Amino acid sequence: MTDSRIEGWGRTAVMGQELQPDSLEQSPPVLFRGLGRSYGDSSLPPQESPVVVNTTRANRMLAFDGGTGLLRAEAGLSLLDLHRTLLPRGWFVPVTPGTQFVTLGGAVAADVHGKNHHVEGCFGAHVRRLKMRVADGRVLECGPDLERELFLATVGGMGLTGQILEVEFPMVRIPTPWIWQESERVSDIDEYVEKLKEAAPRWPMTVGWIDCLTPGRHMGRGILMKGRWAHSHEAPAHFPSEPPNVAFPIEAPEWLLNPLSIRAFNFAFYWKHLPRKLGGIVSPFSFFWPLDFVKGWNRMYGRRGFTQYQCVLPDAAGPGAARRFLEVLTRRGGASFLCVIKDCGPESPAFLSFPRPGISVALDIAIRNDTQALVDELNEHVLREGGRIYLAKDTFTRPEHFRAMEARLPRFLEVREKWDPQHRFRSAQSVRLFGDAP
Amino acid sequence: MKRVAILGATRGMGRALARRFVERGDFVAVLGRGADEVRRSVADLEARGVPGTRVAGFTCDLELPETFKPALEAAEQRLDGLDTVVVTAGAFATQEQLERDPALAARVLTVDFANTVLFCEEAKKKLLQRGGGTLCVFSSVAGDRGRSPVVLYGAAKAGLSAYLEGLDHKHRKDGLVTVCVKPGFVRTAMTEGLPTPPFAGDPEAVAGVVLEGLDAGTPVVYAPPVWRAVMTAIKAMPRFVMRRVKF
């Protein structure tokens, strides 16, 4: 078999072999990957033994209880596939990230969060059971009340504790498949953070997009979105149709994204929302997964691709943390398209789960010659604020920065050591950050 | 509403096709190798099927002709009848592997031709007994013309296609419709590791095309459909050209 290019969503790549069996029962003891939507190198195999197993053909539902919503499925099942079957019947996943191109195994491994984090926590908080194959070849079950240590290391553990074969969690009953959304134009970052916190007790889902280019008085102006499932008397009677797919046509040239075009985009996005407040019924597709209908939108960033920088600035950093972060960013010229901002609820007991109470900021950065320096500077700032970064997005963080951010890391590594002392399950990211060697 | 038995429904194109059937309310019997695989696929179809769909599963192995009749009978019994039989199962190996390993060659030739035909004969009897039905079998574009990368596999599939055509001529008047599916290159576990040619398809898209052809009783279905044009061109190519080109 010849080597092929295995890419993360930000287009960082390793040349190697991506096996894609129908069944995961007899796969070699290497890293699993799902749909490859983690931005950086967490789903890429290590350079020195570049073999990874793609789980997406293992996509069978194994049990669904139409009364309680409890679902058990193979780890390669995607949220897209799941919702195509169960959304018309009134069921939704307890937590969804901003894309449906995520497998259940990937959702567990990255412990994904969504617009309802302040209420429902991460995906892993809803998982009852995982079936795993660990490094010595044993197949076993774990959960919050069974092999708890392994479970807590696996949720958010980026696939490094073993192979996730099956996932069991309850789907959630929804009143209608439509969303009641209210959106609001907010004129600066401090007001923004205030409004997010204000909305938290009243709205089950919140998120916002801010302009992270404009410095000064209007720094961090943006659009705050709040949503809840629509009641049947508000919602249209028909089922929302999936938006038609368009493909991003070309690998864009790098000059396409320049300070001027990005500024124009941010300006348009902000002023498109002319009235200060808007409200109404929207489709779940545009509310939860606005970019999913543009296939291959990552090609917008050209040949070198991009990285997403996502950090959480803890409440303990005090008021103004988001403003201070944006100051660092705008001083460097911003260089990002829209920036996504969201408040996080309580921290999960899972050892490497990303969110913690505070403000999460995520921005896409086209890779240029100075990207490493930019990420270093942002990381040093986040460290000073006591925050941390999200592994599912990361390509550039230095090991010493990550260790300093992540007080829970020794605990994770200790449990991983117990289950996989030879580090059979390692990724390009774990080699970079934890120094895994064969 | 159809009552369908699918040999090969546990994986690849068979799995995708079985899902299409239950999503519109047809009854499906999963026939496949390995009790656990069959059980998992039955569970999947039960979860995906619209309310009222019936799903059953039985082990059946194209390498073991003695399993054919019992599996079809069990399927018929559990679904209260059987009007459609689909075969997506088969064996594949590259020309290089088949030349190197005569035992493997014997296996692939037997499974893809002799045993598939024997299975069809059993299915044919069942369907004719009840006054007809549809027999839909996955052959391959590889059987359309002798080509150097698929000398052996292509020969088995050519034999199978010829058998299916004969069956269709003989029995359409009796109500037995034979549908020969000729998939082009489809990205499944079977083709994993092979270089992907142009016009490659995915199992889900192929399932949609096959379902349409099966409902309409189209005798030969190319999937993805563009392969009909590709194969027409290849079949029209003079021998001296075929000898020179690589495919």
Query: Per-residue confidence of chain A (438 residues) as pLDDT tens digits?
Result: 678 999 999 999 999 999 999 889 888 999 999 999 999 999 999 999 999 999 999 999 999 999 999 999 999 999 999 999 999 999 999 999 999 999 999 999 999 999 999 999 999 999 999 999 999 999 999 999 999 999 999 999 999 999 999 999 999 999 999 999 999 999 999 999 999 999 999 999 999 999 888 888 888 899 999 999 999 999 999 999 988 888 888 888 888 778 788 888 888 878 888 788 889 999 999 999 998 998 888 888 888 999 999 999 999 998 899 999 999 988 887 567 679 999 999 999 999 999 999 999 999 998 989 899 999 999 999 999 999 999 999 999 999 999 999 999 999 999 999 999 999 999 999 999 999 887
User: Measured between alpha carbons, how far is B49 from B1 in angstroms, rounded to an integer?
Assistant: 13
A378 domain residue, yes or no: yes
A310 domain residue, yes or no: yes
- pLDDT score of B225: 93
- pLDDT score of A335: 62
A225 domain residue, yes or no: yes
- pLDDT score of A115: 97
Q: How many other CB atoms are there within 10 angstroms of residue B78's CB atom? A: 18
How close A14 comes to chain B (CA, Å)?
Answer: 17
> Where exactly are the structural domains of chain B?
3-244
The upper half-sphere exposure of residue A114, i.e. CA atoms within 13 Å in the direction of its Cβ, equals 22
With CA atoms as reference, the chain A residue closest to B39 would be A62
How far from chain centre, in Å, is Cα B35? Answer: 20
For residue A253, the enclosing domain spans 179-399
A17 domain residue, yes or no: no
Q: Which fold has domain B3-244?
A: Rossmann fold (3.40.50)
Contacts with B46 from chain A: Cβ below 8 Å:
64
Contacts with B32 from chain A: Cβ below 8 Å:
none
CB spacing of A85 vs B11 below 8 angstroms: no
How many inter-chain contacts (A to B, CB under 8 Å) are there? 40
A216 domain residue, yes or no: yes
A108 domain residue, yes or no: no
User: Measured between alpha carbons, how far is A116 from B80 in angstroms, rounded to an integer?
Assistant: 47
With CA atoms as reference, the chain B residue closest to A77 would be B44
Q: Does A20 touch chain B (CB under 8 A)?
A: yes
Give Cα separations from A184 to A119, A203, A277, B98 (angstroms): 21, 14, 4, 66
User: Measured between alpha carbons, how far is B245 from B247 in angstroms, rounded to an integer?
Assistant: 6
Q: Which residues of B touch A (CB under 8 A)?
A: 10-12, 15, 23, 37, 40-41, 43-44, 46-48, 188-189, 192-193, 195
A39 domain residue, yes or no: no
Contacts of A11 (CB under 8 A, 6+ apart): A298, A301, A303, A304, A305, A306
How far from chain centre, in Å, is Cα B146? Answer: 20
Q: What is the domain-level CATH number for residue A369?
A: 3.30.70.2520
- pLDDT score of A214: 81
A40 domain residue, yes or no: no
How many domains does chain A contain in total?
1
Give strand pairing partners of B137: B87, B180
- pLDDT score of A265: 80
Give Cα separations from A297 to A12, A79, A291, A328 (angstroms): 15, 19, 8, 27
Contact predicate A388/A354, CB 8 Å:
yes
Contacts with A85 from chain B: Cβ below 8 Å:
23, 47-48
Contacts of A345 (CB under 8 A, 6+ apart): A117, A118, A119, A120, A121, A355, A357
Low-confidence ranges of chain B (pLDDT < 70): 247
CB spacing of B47 vs A21 below 8 angstroms: no
Q: Does A168 touch chain B (CB under 8 A)?
A: no
- pLDDT score of A124: 98
Q: Does A85 touch chain B (CB under 8 A)?
A: yes
- pLDDT score of B197: 82
How close A65 comes to chain B (CA, Å)?
Answer: 8
